């Protein structure tokens, strides 16, 4: 879709909202580059993924993506034969273990979430190198002694030399000559050297190397000559130790590089899942639903709300968002090898309750296109919600095609548009010396050139910014062109002539945003089939404009409307009544579909229970001595000893115990 339209619809702000829900930094790049697709197969696959992820959240079985970090740069460095630092290797190991946890979690829920289940095979098990890294590097980022036999030997030598040096230093401290020369009665360490704090005046009394001087110059830190040889030997062993540690890190980095391709592929899958997870949490908190997609170009939104208005309402009422970042619990080897068992997600978990109560001030709208009419002309007063309605439709269409659920009631349907084309708001161009009207015409000319029968066109305040008569005439011609190309079109306007346009066109319809003249506030409801009134006279009178002025204005208005045929008013009223009747019929049809779906689901459930009962009866009828059963009464397994078919009883043993039980108490043993 065009970047210009997405900017007008504030799609970038929706991306920002989704980004808040990212479980880790891995998926943020995908979220920030999120754009609507025009490929229906891609869109529906993403919608299925999000729906299944919402179900996992509702069942408290979400994927453990918080431990999977974006370590792709580190893996690429390892692939290029660079040596990673110990802490970097630990970061990679934690993520590889996290990937295995994610894969195992997907496997456990694959039966309930088949689309998610397909991703399990795309995540490679790279945990072996992670286990090796964890066994080689401790939590402080230090290579452990057991990393190699050579490292054990070298660190053993270091320990022995260190002990000998400490022993020599302790012996020196007991010497009377040395005690006299010391500033304080202990040795200390400067870098790798053990030193004595000697008073400057006694420098010649202590043979050795000065490694440091105090700030005042009164204290010299001297490494005694008799430990210098041991220190030199220690330095040589430590250099060998460092070389061995470097060799171990090179080996681990090389092994990581060998499985780098598999690890990177797995991380790409995890990045997609992080993006889906963020979409699902966004959908859950905003009470969103999965839209249906139509093949016939029909659009119907029921109880649709603008997500940015919802977000503002949440902030006002203080509910906010629950930021579910990465778990603070570290991924351990034991947790990967022995994950906690999880039960399959119940099929009933489809539409969980929203995390936050929907703000009451966000008024939903309902409208439709593509059935009886392709064009909707929305009229009404300023600040009445016309532009909000326009943006809501366009933004929800873009969200749906970006794989996002939408804040609308279940049953809302959308076509897959090849483009959403919008001209909304003032776009005066100083750089191009274009007036607001000229900017609108430039944009509309582009829209008319590219619009098709698979496009959604949104025009705000069509014909405004110039002489009303000319603007209305130009607006009619533009609408004629859009009707000819069969684009789904929603237009807002104040111009009276355009309010009458839909009455003369079979594929166009009027709609109005309602306004409460008592409170002088908009209700934001969209009423299809109605023509909105500006209510300017009523508003002016209530705002205490001089009554004589308002009376004169009403007289002028009456004169201007005198030529309007009474038949147009009757036609407008009848079309509004017909639209109301159609809406009631549609709602009745929806209720009938829901009742049918519920009946069919109940029928399938009864069939399933009947099949289970038949299988259970067959199991009991064929029981033989030696069969293992589950005793429902005692909730434990047992072995059949004898069966009495006439009395429908069986003798069942468990260890040294034995019971005579009715066959109805016996069930097949649970699957391991």
Nearest alpha carbon to residue 252 among 137, 161, 400: 137
Among 108-117, 187-196, 242-251, 576-585, name the one with the lowest average pLDDT.
576-585
Smallest Cα–Cα separation from 460: which of 528, 378, 393?
378
pLDDT of residue 324: 44
119 and 178 assigned to the same domain: no
Instruction: For 455, list phi and psi in degrees, rounded to 5.
Output: -105, 155
Rg of the chain in Å (alpha carbons) = 38
The parent domain of residue 505 ranges over: 287-322+351-533
Helices (H) and strands (E) in the chain, counts: 21, 19
In terms of domains, do 303 and 263 share one?
Answer: no
DSSP assigned state of 338: S
- Residues 160, 295: one domain? no
Predicted pLDDT at 343: 44
CA–CA separation, 508 vs 495, rounded Å? 16
332 in any annotated domain: no
- Is 376 within the bounds of a domain? yes
Tokens 């799609």 — which residue? 11
> Do 430 and 309 sit in the same domain of this protein?
yes
Assess whether 81 and 112 both reside in one domain.
yes
Least confident of 25-29, 109-113, 502-506, 541-545: 541-545
Nearest C-alpha neighbor of 418 from the set 485, 477, 478: 485
Residue 456 contacts residue 337 (beta carbons within 8 Å): no
> Would the pLDDT of 273 be above 90?
yes
Residue burial 587-600, b: 16+ Cβ < 10 Å; e: rest: eeeeeeeeeeeeee
**pLDDT at residue number 75:** 95
CATH code (residue 504): 3.40.50.300
Is there a contact between 116 and 277 (Cβ–Cβ < 8 Å)?
Answer: no
Q: Are 219 and 213 in contact (CB under 8 A)?
A: yes
Averaged pLDDT for residues 520-538:
68
The residue ranking higher by pLDDT, 52 or 570, is 52
Residue 205 in domain: yes
Q: How far is CA 237 from the centre of its chain?
A: 53
The lowest-confidence range among 319-323, 417-421, 502-506, 576-580 is 319-323
- The reply to whether 268 and 303 lie within a common domain is no
The pairing of strands 636-644 and 628-631 is antiparallel
3-state DSSP assignment of residue 27: helix
The model carries a pTM of 0.72
- On whether both 276 and 402 belong to a single domain, the answer is no
Q: Is 468 in the same domain as 362?
A: yes
Is 33 inside a domain boundary?
yes
Which CATH number characterizes residue 651's domain?
2.30.30
> What residues does 420 pair with on adjacent strands?
456
For residue 136, being part of any structural domain is answered with no
DSSP H helices in 174-318:
176-181, 225-258, 260-285, 307-317
Domain presence at residue 328: no
pLDDT of 344: 46
Distances (CA, A) of 205 to 166, 177, 179, 208, 630: 21, 8, 11, 10, 89
Task: Specify the pLDDT at position 101.
Answer: 92
For residues 494 and 423, state if they share a domain: yes
Query: Whole-angstrom Cα distance, residue 105 to residue 103?
Result: 5
Residues 53 and 73 in one domain: yes
CATH number at residue 220: 1.10.1420
Number of domains comprising the chain: 5
**CA dist 176 → 171, 172, 182, 195 (Å):** 11, 9, 10, 17
- 508 DSSP β-pair partners: 375
d(CA 454, CA 487): 6
Q: Among 247, 46, 259, which Cα is nearest to 136's?
A: 247
Edge-to-edge strands of the sheet including 488-493? Answer: 419-423, 455-459, 488-493, 375-379, 508-516, 521-528
With CA atoms as reference, report the closest residue to 413 among 267, 548, 299.
Answer: 299
Q: Which residues contact 267 (CB under 8 A, 6 or more apart)?
A: 26, 68, 70, 71, 72, 75, 95, 99
Last residue of one domain, picked from the residues 533, 557, 590? 533
457 shares a domain with 446 = yes
Residue 523 covered by a domain: yes
Q: Please check whether residue 132 lies inside any domain of the structure.
A: no
- One domain for residues 102 and 209: no
The helix (H) or strand (E) run that includes residue 577 is: helix 566-621
Cβ-proximal residues to 597 (8 Å cutoff; 6+ apart), any chain? none
């Amino acid at each position: 879709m065009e970047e210009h339209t997405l900017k007008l619809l504030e799609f970038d702000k929706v991306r920002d909202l989704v980004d808040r829900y990212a479980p880790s930094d891995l998926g943020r790049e995908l979220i920030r580059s999120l754009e609507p697709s025009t490929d229906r197969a891609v869109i529906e696959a993403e919608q299925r993924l999000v729906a299944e992820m919402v179900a996992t959240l509702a069942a408290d079985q979400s994927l453990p993506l918080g431990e999977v970090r974006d370590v792709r740069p580190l893996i690429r460095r390892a692939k290029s034969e660079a040596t990673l630092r110990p802490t970097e290797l630990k970061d990679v190991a934690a993520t590889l273990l996290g990937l295995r946890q994610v894969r195992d979690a997907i496997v456990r829920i694959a039966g309930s979430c088949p689309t998610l289940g397909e991703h399990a095979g795309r995540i490679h098990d790279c945990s072996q190198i992670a286990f090796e890294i964890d066994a080689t590097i401790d939590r402080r980022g230090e290579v452990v002694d057991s990393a190699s036999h050579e490292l054990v030997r070298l660190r053993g030598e270091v320990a022995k030399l260190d002990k000998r040096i400490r022993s020599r230093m302790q012996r020196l401290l007991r010497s009377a000559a040395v005690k006299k020369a010391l500033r304080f009665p202990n040795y200390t360490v400067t870098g790798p050297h053990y030193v004595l704090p000697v008073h400057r005046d006694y420098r010649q009394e202590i043979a050795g190397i000065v490694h440091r001087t105090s700030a005042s110059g009164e204290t010299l830190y001297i490494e005694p000559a008799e430990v210098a040889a041991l220190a030199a030997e220690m330095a040589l062993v430590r250099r060998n130790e460092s070389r061995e540690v470097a060799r171990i890190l090179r080996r681990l980095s090389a092994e990581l590089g060998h499985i780098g391709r598999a690890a990177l592929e797995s991380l790409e899958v995890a990045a997609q899942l992080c993006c889906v997870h963020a979409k699902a949490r966004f959908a859950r908190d905003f009470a969103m639903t999965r839209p249906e997609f139509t093949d016939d170009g029909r659009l119907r939104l029921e109880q649709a709300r603008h997500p940015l208005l919802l977000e503002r309402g949440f902030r006002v009422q203080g509910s906010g968002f629950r930021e579910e970042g990465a778990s603070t619990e570290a991924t351990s080897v034991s947790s990967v090898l022995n994950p906690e068992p999880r039960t399959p997600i119940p099929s009933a978990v489809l539409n969980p309750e929203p995390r936050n109560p929907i703000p009451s001030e966000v008024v939903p709208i309902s409208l439709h296109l593509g059935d009886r009419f392709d064009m909707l002309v929305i009229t009404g007063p300023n600040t009445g919600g016309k532009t909000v309605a326009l943006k809501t439709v366009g933004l929800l269409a873009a969200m749906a095609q970006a794989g996002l659920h939408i804040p609308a009631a279940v049953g809302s349907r959308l076509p897959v548009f090849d483009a959403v084309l919008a001209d909304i708001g003032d776009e005066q161009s100083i750089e191009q010396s274009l007036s607001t009207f000229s900017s609108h015409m430039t944009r509309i000319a582009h829209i008319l050139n590219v619009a098709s029968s698979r496009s959604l066109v949104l025009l705000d305040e069509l014909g405004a910014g110039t002489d009303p008569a000319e603007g209305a005439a130009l607006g009619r011609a533009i609408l004629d062109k859009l009707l000819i190309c069969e684009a789904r079109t929603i237009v807002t306007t104040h111009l009276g002539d355009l309010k009458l346009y839909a009455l003369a066109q079979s594929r166009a319809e009027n709609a109005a945003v309602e306004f409460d003249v008592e409170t002088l506030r908009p209700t934001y409801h969209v009423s299809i089939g109605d023509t909105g009134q500006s209510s300017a006279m009523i508003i002016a009178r209530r705002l205490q404009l001089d009554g004589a002025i308002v009376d004169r204005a009403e007289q002028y208005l009456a004169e201007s409307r005198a030529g309007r045929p009474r038949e147009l008013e009757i036609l407008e009223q009848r079309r509004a009544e017909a639209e109301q009747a159609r809406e009631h019929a549609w709602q009745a049809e929806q209720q009938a579909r829901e009742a049918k779906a519920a009946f069919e689901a109940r029928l399938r459930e009864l069939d399933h229970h009947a099949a289970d009962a038949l299988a259970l009866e067959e199991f009991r009828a064929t029981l033989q001595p030696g069969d293992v059963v589950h005793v429902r009464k005692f909730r434990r397994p047992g072995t059949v000893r004898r069966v009495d078919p006439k009395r429908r009883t069986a003798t069942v043993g468990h260890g040294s115990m034995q019971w005579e039980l009715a066959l109805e108490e016996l069930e097949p043993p649970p699957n391991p």
